[in-house]
Amino acid sequence: MRRTFDTGNAAITEGAILAGCRVFAGYPITPATEIAENMSRRLPQVGGTYVQAEDECAALHVCNGAALGGLKAMTATSGPGFILLSDPFGWAISAEIPVVIVDAQRVGPVSGITGAPGQGEFYLSRYLAHGGNYETIVLAPSSVQEAFRLTVRAFELAERFRTPVTLLADQMVTDGWEGLELPETAEEARAMGLRVVERRAHPGPDFYPATDAIDVPPVVLGRGTGAACSDWTPDERGLDTEAVEAQHRHAHRLIHKIRSHRELIAEHEALALDDSPDLILVAYGTPARVMKSAVAAARARGLRVGGLRLVSLWPFPDALFSRPARYLTVELNWDGQLVREVRRAAGAGAKVHFLGRCGELPSVTEIVEAAELLLGGGTLRRRGWDAEAW
Amino acid sequence: MDPLAERYLRPEKWPGTACPGCGLRLLVREILESLDGLGLGLDDLVWGTAIGCTGRQTFAAWRGDAFAGTHGRVYALATGLRLALPPEKRILLTVGDGDAFTIGLPHLLAAARRNVDLTVVVGDNLGYQSTGGQFGVTTPPGSRTDSSPYGTWEPSWADEGLDVLGIVREAGAAFLARHTIYDRAGVVESVKAALCTRGFSLVHVYYPCHVHFGAQALGSDDLGLIARWMRQQYGATGVLYDARGRRAEFTERLRRHVAAVQGGGSGHGG
């Protein structure tokens, strides 16, 4: 085991290399540039390729092309580049291409503030492609070590589900420095729960089976299988068709290959939930670390508060929100995104509240005060320009 | 079915869904003659396409491995594919004038700059015909189309001495040729030369759309009329630029770079 002190960007780089990523294409953008820089240094050492693309859209297309040729590939970006991935992301969704995308969320909208953390792309990560008719996998690290593990995991899920997987990080995770343990042998990697799925190639002829099965090898060109691969609605052989029935089968597969196996993706951390707390705090990414401290602080004050740290965001873990409790999401945005999904999952009549900030973290004290107010029957209110809450 | 089509194309994709009389079929036939002339088989070439008449109508016609990218982005997709395929595997892209010269131009130029080993055949039907006939950047000046009912007024790359292939040449392409579809021997020879280029090659082929362009801009959907007009309009064609072997190909440079880094050098690929 190699013990080091490094950034989330470095952790993501090493996770990708371990997972077998041999092509990285990207475009410099704060706060994800360091992943590109690290990849440009590390990939040639392992026989891989760094491509500095002409824009983010091209970057993911280059990754898709490399994946289509049988290589594992990744791109990394932030908000203004993430939106430009929409076109190749949709292509990879429909053509069922395993590829990994990192989004280091910063403050928006649009260019916003480059060097401060935000969580404004929760829904964008779910709906990045136009046209609907798909489900997607999004994972959210909240530490440097977890960024390493989830990068390896993202590659594993991409291969198994034949789909792009997004690592939705934030600027504090990618830029932040922390202790990082890196396995040096395959045994150490296994002991850390890391799994590497080798790339396989579909033998044909039914490259796009009408089932929700996973572990179907992806289409790989150049093997003489007569594969056809595109973003048109495919028939089972991959040929474009205008048949509505074929579209139904394709969309059904894209949605249900993921939803039917959601238990293989779902991951969360439960905090003090054993005694059916009255209030459950919900967060992902860096704010989840403050939330964790807030749960401990609230408990120390005798408040029946628990917490849910979401690690897999999409498919959304609806089942976690069936408890008869109030929920309070803590998010790095002012408009409230995670809260809407928790409200939907918790169902009509559930009390779901929001505490938002952006560009900086909320304090433990402010979260505990909000919890206390809610448990005392009070109402969270927007506090001028300082905090958005309801 | 003709023997070349039988050998190279999927029967359910030929003659395909292009309009009756569309020049695209002749272009595909010419490309097949080039492949046959080079003795290439189904496993030797991966055939990529894009959107529009040229892209949509040629997707997966090839019985070998085939792919289609989004509009204008197939050059980036093919660059990634080139990284993964062995050098002897050829990549051919059949795309339209809109895909290559408008929405996809920055990506096409990036592929030319890198000198990626790709052969791009631009089937140019003088505008956006699959959407019903709107002008593009190679539509002759003053043409009436569905989006220029009074005639085009915006400068194009077919106007005032401008030529989009000049941009592609300056971007670093290794081989450039231009023909009309009627110069059958010329197209076949240029596509053969392009496919034998280790680097970025492009063959620009004008083909007639009598249904939209002919009817709108020439006032007639007569195939003979558009053929005569096109021969006259684009008479002086052939190989425009041949710099084969002058610049190292993208993946060659890459292999040298990786070898240098692994050997402890600076990795300057030269």
A148 lies in the same domain as A285: no
Any idea what the CATH number is for the domain that residue A296 is in?
3.40.50.920
pLDDT at A384: 84
State which of A138, A156, A191 marks the end of a domain.
A191
What is the 3-state composition of chain B as percent helix, strand, coil, each rounded to the nearest 5?
A: 40, 15, 40
Question: Does the pLDDT of residue A104 top 80, yes or no?
Answer: yes
The residue among A174, A191, A208 that closes a domain is A191
Among the partner-chain residues B42, B60, B83, the one whose CB lies closest to the CB of A69 is B83
Q: Closest partner residue to B67 among A25, A62, A68, by Cβ? A: A68
The predicted-structure confidence for A38-77, as pLDDT tens digits, reads as follows: 999 999 999 999 999 999 999 999 999 999 999 999 999 9
- Architecture label for domain B3-262: 3-Layer(aba) Sandwich (3.40)
**pLDDT tens across A280-291, in order?**
999 999 999 999
Proportion of chain A above pLDDT 70, given as a percent: 100
Same domain, A281 and A163: no
pLDDT at A371 over 70: yes
> Would you say A36 and A24 are in contact if contact means Cβ atoms under 8 Å apart?
yes
Q: Which residues of A touch B250 (CB under 8 A)?
A: none
Cα–Cα distance for residue pair B67/A100, rounded to 1 Å:
21
Mean pLDDT of B223-231: 96
Specify the pLDDT at position A349.
Answer: 86
Kindly state whether residue A210 falls inside one of the protein's structural domains. Answer: no
Q: Is A266 in contact with A300 (CB distance < 8 Å)? A: no
Outline where chain B has alpha helix (H): 3-8, 24-37, 52-58, 74-84, 97-98, 105-114, 164-171, 184-195, 223-233, 250-262
Let me know whether A48 and A179 are in one domain: yes
Instruction: Give yes or no for residue A152 having a pLDDT over 90.
Output: yes
- Residue A329: give the domain boundaries: 269-389
**Where a domain ends, among A143, A173, A191?**
A191
> How many CB atoms are closer than 10 A to CB B152?
22
Based on the fold, state whether residues A17 and A150 are members of the same structural domain.
Answer: yes
Tell me what pLDDT residue A324 has: 87
Q: Which one of B85, B90, B261 makes the best mutation probe of the A interface by having the most chain A beta carbons within 10 Å?
A: B85
Q: Are A53 and A171 in the same domain? A: yes
pLDDT for A256 beyond 80: yes
Residue B270, pLDDT above cutoff 60? no
Question: If you count them, how many residues does chain A have?
Answer: 390
Confidence (pLDDT) at B267 = 66
When pLDDT is averaged across residues B37-52 and rounded to a whole number, the result is 97
Higher pLDDT, B266 or B242: B242
Domain boundaries, chain B: 3-262
pLDDT at B236 over 90: no
Confirm whether A58 is domain-assigned: yes
Nearest residue of B to residue A45 by CA position? B262
In a domain, A129, yes or no: yes
Within a domain: residue A117?
yes
Same domain, A148 and A289: no
CATH number reported for the structural domain that contains residue A58 in this entry:
3.40.50.970
Q: Which residues of A touch B10 (CB under 8 A)?
A: 239
CA distance B220 to chain A (A): 31
| Mean pLDDT of the B198-207 span | 98
Q: How far is the C-alpha of B209 from the C-alpha of B26, rounded, in Å?
A: 12
Residues A185 and A320 in one domain: no
Which A-chain residues 19-38 have CB contacts (< 8 A) with chain B?
23, 25
Residue among A45, A229, A231 whose CB faces B262 most closely: A45
pLDDT in tens, B146-184: 999 999 999 999 888 999 999 999 999 999 999 999 999
pLDDT tens readout for residues A192-228: 999 999 999 999 999 999 999 999 999 999 999 999 9
Q: How far is Cα A78 from Cα A93, in angstroms, rounded to an integer? A: 20
B138 with B158: CB under 8 angstroms?
yes
How many domains are there within chain A?
2
Are residues A185 and A301 located together in one domain of the fold? no
Half-sphere exposure of B101 (CA within 13 A, CB side): 29
Mean pLDDT of A123-128: 98
Q: What is the mean pLDDT of residues A6-15?
A: 98
Residue A354 lies in a domain: yes
Residue A363 DSSP one-character state: P
Q: In terms of DSSP bridges, do strands A177-182 and A2-7 run parallel, antiparallel, or are they unpaired?
A: antiparallel
pLDDT score of B1: 67
The mean predicted confidence, pLDDT, of chain A is 97
Does ipTM come in above 0.85? yes
Helix (H, G, I), strand (E, B) or coil at B188: helix
Between chains, do A54 and B107 touch, taking CB under 8 Å as contact?
yes
Strands of the sheet containing A268-271, edge to edge, are A268-271, A305-310, A279-284, A326-331, A352-356, A388-389
